[in-house]
Amino acid sequence: MTSRQLGFLFLAPATAFVFLFFLVPVLLTVVFSFTNMSTATGITGGAWQVNPGAMRRLALVHEEPELAETLQIQAFVVDERALATLQETGTPEAIVNELESELIGQTFGSRREIARALRNLDNRPRSTRDINALASQFERSLVGNRYDTEESLFAAIVTMGLTLSPDQVAAVAEATWTGWSWTTENFQRMVLLPDTITIFLNTIFYVFTTLIFFNTGFALILAITTHYMPEGPAGWFRSIWLLPRVLPAVLYVLMWKWLAWDTGFLSSLLGQFGVPPRNWMLNDAASAWTFVIIINGTVGASMGMLIFASAIKAIPQQIFYASEVDGASRWQQIWHIILPQLKWPILFITTYQSLSLLTSFEHTLLATDGGPGGATEVWALHAYHTALSNYAGNLAYGYGAALALVLVVIGLVLSVAYLFFFDFKNLVRPPRIER
């Protein structure tokens, strides 16, 4: 086996992993985003059903208000099918024969009308209850009935004495279909909903504030600070800052909630100074954002600290010794030695953490769940609420996938923008000494 073949063999598991856990989910997201899949439609198929919602769509979307009203009317039809049912249920033959001779093919608009016709029969039932029971055998109502095929729906419409034009047939079929279908309405809805711009601005604020002040900025401060500390204390300091990342998210956020609850540490401490207790995490939008950014930022800062600290450690110590001989201050060492050497790590952390902040929502979900009043609802959390968990109970899988697809597109655009901003070609260019 050649080295090239051996290389492909070693890359095969990683390639399969990327395909199964990255490409396939992205492709499925793209597919689902162009459907109207929801709890109501299911994901495997559907049926045709005349219900108030379908008739509302028929009246408003397809501009057929009169037809929508007609399809909801209860009718009573004397036909061969009803007479056969009467014979099977043991109805006296004299009544069936008289119905066939006198009323066959007639349609009645209400129970009262058909009951009046039945009372005029010579072989009519004796009691009003029996007449009403007989009348119910001829009831034809489309409302609430479920039809497995389009043909069975229109066969039922024909039995009610209705004749539809080809355009009306298409409109009724589309309006009464309860299964999913291909559509681009998810993206139109996204543009039209007033909440979309609010959630988008929330996301921009959350991602860049957390990224600049914590995931990159504070991480740099931690890494540089520990670089100038003795090795022992620096190791302990880094270990402490790793705790937010290694702790389970539920336990980590629970500790913050214990700090911020109206019976928590902050309220107990400030109560000594006459400050009334309150839920500091959800008291208002500003306090909620403060906690959300700090909770997510301390987790992200730990990763940046490790990457930056490792990169600083890789800088030859002789450069620092030489700069000290030349009289360089700590700030001059940071500005002229450390930061230029961290351009590649900063690019990696900025790109990775931007994508991570765009798509992760578990800490925000556990801390505020998008509250108070949707003030901290970010795009990824909104997609989760839409597709998997909402108060209304109707989970919109297709719309949630469309929201997730927007995150994929934004992530790709940001990645390309970062490559240009950090001059990626220059970063990967061979050193001048090797040219």
Most confident of 4-13, 150-159, 196-205: 196-205
Mean pLDDT over residues 138-154, rounded?
A: 81
Mean pLDDT over residues 234-244, rounded?
A: 89
Look at residue 410 in the predicted model and tell me its pLDDT.
92
Q: Is 369 helix (H, G, I), strand (E, B) or coil?
A: coil
Would you kindly state where each structural domain of the chain is located, as residue ranges? 48-176, 193-434
What's the pLDDT tens digit per position in 289-347? 999 999 999 999 999 999 999 999 999 999 999 998 988 899 999 999 999 999 889 98
Cα angle 248, 250, 253; round to 5? 105
What's the pLDDT tens digit per position in 163-211? 889 999 899 888 888 888 888 989 999 999 989 999 999 999 999 999 9
Look at residue 431 in the predicted model and tell me its pLDDT.
61
Look at residue 220 in the predicted model and tell me its pLDDT.
95
Pinpoint the alpha helices (H) of 127-193. Answer: 128-136, 150-159, 166-176, 185-192
Assign domain 193-434 to its CATH architecture: Orthogonal Bundle (1.10)
CB-side neighbour CA atoms (13 Å) of 367: 31
Spell 12-38 as b/e; 16+ CB within 10 A means b. eeeeeeeeeeeeeeeeebeebbbbbbb
